Amino acid sequence: MGSRRVRQAYHLFLLHVGIALVAINIHFFLAPNQFAAGGLGGLTIVMHHFFPNVSIGLLMLCFNVVLFGLGFMFLGFSFGLKTIYSSFMLSFMVWLFGEVAPMAEPLSEDKLIQLMVGVLIAALGLVIVMKEGASTGGMDLIGMILNKYFSIDIGKAVLFSDMIIVLLSIVAFGVENGLYALFGIVLRGVVIDYLIQQFSLTKEVVIISYKCDLIKNFIIENLGRSATVHEAKGAFSNEQKEVITIVLKRSEFHSLKKYINEIDKRAFISVHNMSEVVGNGFKSMV
């Protein structure tokens, strides 16, 4: 029970770290430079230009209330408690940063560097939030509504809404800032795809060892995995050997490699990186 609570606390901590990174990007990088780089944060930055007396965090909170109201109306309760919590926590953190560390001007005169650093921070935060089974809501809800009623792919619907926000930013802040925002959207998508791939990277491991029985027991008992075992014959020695093939997550592979090194330093191990594995304890098929 204690270890379960520790794991829950750890995942909750990670969720808040991810949300905080997204909030840092909005408050310290996007808003001072008037970069409306898509999403609810971008829309809020544009609207803050027209309502400067209302803080960005408060505007974001208002938009979240409206969007979740639409979500309940058209989608029911399909977006989950974590997403609701994450969305409102993001609004709170943006408001809190505004109160604790208000930004009177950008951090630097180099807009491109600020945009790139901010996008990298936000992309990492979004991936962490997604890995914890949540999202920051916002314009994703519009995408889900369009997908349900008009059969538009969610990714395309969100991209369409981002383009509308870019056009609004051109009206509010000029063409230059609008182009920066467009570049930020493209860069964010590329970085998120790359980080998701790195986080989900798995390894296909092929092991040839004289201690296969011990290795199989370690895989089953310590890693909670199964493996494929087949017979092979050495071309030079003509000896019959067992070959173990298994797919593991990165952390599991490090544990297995350490164990094999302890019991059989002559073992032969080949490793292949795999960008996606579906089913049987890995990614869901749907």
- Tens digit of each residue's pLDDT (9 = 90 or more) over 134-178: 888 777 778 777 777 887 776 677 788 888 999 999 999 999 999
Mean pLDDT, the chain, integer? 86
If one compares 19 and 251, the residue with the highest pLDDT of the two is 19
3-state secondary structure the chain: CHHHHHHHHHHHHHHHHHHHHHHHHHHHHHHHHCCCCCHHHHHHHHHHHHCCCCCHHHHHHHHHHHHHHHHHHHHCCCCCHHHHHHHHHHHHHHHHHHHHCCCCCCCCCCHHHHHHHHHHHHHHHHHHHHHCCCCCCCHHHHHHHHHHHHCCCHHHHHHHHHHHHHHHHHHHHCHHHHHHHHHHHHHHHHHHHHHHHHHCCEEEEEEECCCHHHHHHHHHHCCCCCCEEEEEECCCCCCEEEEEEEEEEHHHHHHHHHHHHHHCCCCEEEEEEECCCECCCCECCC
- For residue 19, give the nearest of 124, 116, 114 by alpha carbon: 124
The pLDDT tens digits for 74-128 are 877 766 788 889 999 999 999 999 999 998 899 999 999 999 999 999 999 988 9
Q: Is the distance from CB of 233 to CB of 225 less than 8 angstroms?
A: no
Range of weakest confidence among 24-38, 136-150, 184-198, 219-233: 136-150
For CATH 3.30.70.120, the residue range(s) in the chain are: 202-274
Q: Is the distance from CB of 19 to CB of 126 less than 8 angstroms?
A: no
pLDDT of residue 285: 46
pLDDT of residue 284: 55
pLDDT of residue 78: 65
Cα atoms in the 13 Å half-sphere on the side-chain side of 114: 23
If one compares 209 and 158, the residue with the highest pLDDT of the two is 209
What Cα–Cα distance (Å) separates residue 270 from each residue in 109, 209, 210, 236, 275? 49, 12, 16, 19, 17
Whether this prediction's pTM lies above 0.85 is answered by no
For domain 202-274, give the fold.
Answer: Alpha-Beta Plaits (3.30.70)
Q: What is the mean pLDDT of residues 28-35?
A: 93
